[in-house]
Amino acid sequence: MGHVAVVGVGITRFGRRSDTTLQELASEAGRMALSDAGLDPEDVEFLAVGSMGGWSSESLPAVVVSEYLGLERAGSMRVEAACASGSAAVKVAADVVAAGGADVAMAIGVERMYESPIPNVVEYLGRAGNYFWEFENFGLTFPGYYAMYATAYMNKYGATEEDLSEISVKNHYYGSLNPYAQFREPVKIEDVMRSRYVAWPLRLLHCSPISDGSAAVVLVSERVARSLTDSPTWIRAIGSATGPSSITRRDDFLGFLAVRRAAEEAYRRAGIDPARPLRQVDAALVHDCFTIAEIIAYEDLGFARRGEGFMLAKERQTYIGGLVPVNIDGGLKAKGHPIGATGVAMAVEAVKQLRREADPGRQADIKNGVVIAHNVGGTGHYAYVTVYSM
């Protein structure tokens, strides 16, 4: 299998984007990525579109995006892995290039969630678990699912609502420095603790929002990468795994087995020591759909021991200058979470960090040249861990 490089990245502002259609939004990111790569639409041989999409009117997003961007020569498909659809699209496009099926491929994530009323969006997301046993009979929605993880974690390890709130404060702080973020205002612990409960113990400011947005990357073979640039970003490894549909089949609500399996695979392929990943990792983008999810990610990725992830938040070790900067683009919490775009947006941010092109105040110190993206679909149903390197 060949090496795969990311040579172009593009992203739109996340938030309410009623000024665009789905294809316009995706094209905004797609054109930016192609121009960053110095390539034309005719160069693209394959397109994977990450989109969950049940809330928006277009049911064939890959076709309308392809047409609007002028990529009709390229084969295309929509890729769905719930909130990890973007990372799944990156994997599909990268695998096509690695297998020699294309020299130039694109992964574009796009979502227009605001096309539907928010209660419908919350319902559609809530059905992304085990529909019959969890949604139909018990009405579980995403804030409810993650509230169960939060209460189990707080009960077992003694973490508090304030500890969870630290994640929100950090991510809103970095979101305030990111011109593409949905929320640009920093928040204090008091603001988080004053916000209304959505599903106890998770408050509004513990939740990622509903978002529209798109992100795009251009992936190429090593041969093309060397012809375009002296300093490509490489996809060093992708690990992926799938969890059981029903949460009754989980051992506990303290971590995600599928994520641990995906991380194990990614670390093995990338040559990262799973016992001490932070010796080799400069920064991480993790799936903070709810604040508890970021704390669990620290543990599932081996950044902290079991039960100690919340201490990293409490001690502010995941800011720039701490043990490992995490979500210094604002994360899902403040940057926004247009479901299918999120994993591609993580790729965009990883590349910007590795190229040292992040906005002032949110550039990590790149010493090892490695950034990790952790993207979870559902409550640990799909897990993707991607290692980007210089």
| Active-site annotation, residues | 83, 337
| Cβ at position 173, least distance to ligand COA in Å | 14
Answer for which of 64, 71, 198, 373 binds ligand COA (CB under 6 A) is: 198
Answer for which of 8, 10, 86, 209 binds ligand COA (CB under 6 A) is: 209
Q: What is the 3-state secondary structure (H, E, C) of the chain?
A: CCCEEEEEEEECCCECCCCCCHHHHHHHHHHHHHHHHCCCHHHCCEEEEECCCCCCCCCCHHHHHHHHHCCCCCEEEEECECECHHHHHHHHHHHHHHCCCCCEEEEEEEEEHHHCCHHHHHHHHHCCCCHHHHHHHHCCCHHHHHHHHHHHHHHHHCCCHHHHHHHHHHHHHHHCCCCCCCCCCCCCHHHHHHCCEEECCEEHHHECCCCEEEEEEEEEEHHHHHHHCCCCEEEEEEEEEECCCCHHHCCCCCCCHHHHHHHHHHHHHHCCCCCCHHHCCCEEECCCCEHHHHHHHHHHCCCCCCCCHHHHHHCCCCCCCCCCCECCCCHHHHHCCCHHHHHHHHHHHHHHHHCCCCCCCCCCCCCCCEEEEEEEECCCCEEEEEEEEC
Tell me, by CB under 6 A, how many residues bind ligand COA. 15
| Cβ at position 168, least distance to ligand COA in Å | 8
Reference 289, options 358, 336, 227, 236; nearest CA is: 336
**Window contacting ligand COA (CB under 6 A); options: 30-38, 206-214, 307-315, 351-359:** 206-214
The residue (of 114 and 310) whose beta carbon lies closer to ligand COA is 114
The residue (of 61 and 209) whose beta carbon lies closer to ligand COA is 209
Residue 99 binds to ligand COA (criterion: CB under 6 A): no
The residue (of 142 and 298) whose beta carbon lies closer to ligand COA is 142
Give the separation between CA 308 and CA 295, rounded to whole angstroms: 9
Answer for which of 125, 272, 313, 364 binds ligand COA (CB under 6 A) is: 125
Residue 193 binds to ligand COA (criterion: CB under 6 A): no
The residue (of 280 and 327) whose beta carbon lies closer to ligand COA is 327
Give me 78's structure tokens.
């929509």
| Cβ at position 375, least distance to ligand COA in Å | 10
Q: Is 155 exposed, middle or buried (0-12, 13-18, 19+ CB in 10 A)?
A: exposed
x-or-dash string of contact with ligand COA, 161-180, rule CB under 6 A: --------------------
| Cβ at position 211, least distance to ligand COA in Å | 9
- Strands 202-203 and 212-221, by their bridges, are unpaired
The residue (of 66 and 168) whose beta carbon lies closer to ligand COA is 168
Q: Are 180 and 211 in contact, with CB atoms under 8 Å apart? A: no
**Window contacting ligand COA (CB under 6 A); options: 48-56, 154-162, 207-215, 259-267:** 207-215
Q: Is 273 exposed, middle or buried (0-12, 13-18, 19+ CB in 10 A)?
A: exposed
| Cβ at position 341, least distance to ligand COA in Å | 12
| Cβ at position 199, least distance to ligand COA in Å | 9
| Cβ at position 119, least distance to ligand COA in Å | 7
The residue (of 204 and 320) whose beta carbon lies closer to ligand COA is 204
Answer for which of 118, 160, 252, 276 binds ligand COA (CB under 6 A) is: 118
Residue 204 binds to ligand COA (criterion: CB under 6 A): yes
The residue (of 39 and 289) whose beta carbon lies closer to ligand COA is 289
x-or-dash string of contact with ligand COA, 227-256, rule CB under 6 A: ------------------------------
Answer for which of 60, 63, 77, 122 binds ligand COA (CB under 6 A) is: 122
Answer for which of 142, 153, 173, 174 binds ligand COA (CB under 6 A) is: 142
- Strands 46-50 and 4-11, by their bridges, are unpaired
Binding site for ligand COA (CB under 6 A): 83, 118, 122, 125, 142-143, 198, 204-205, 207-210, 289, 337
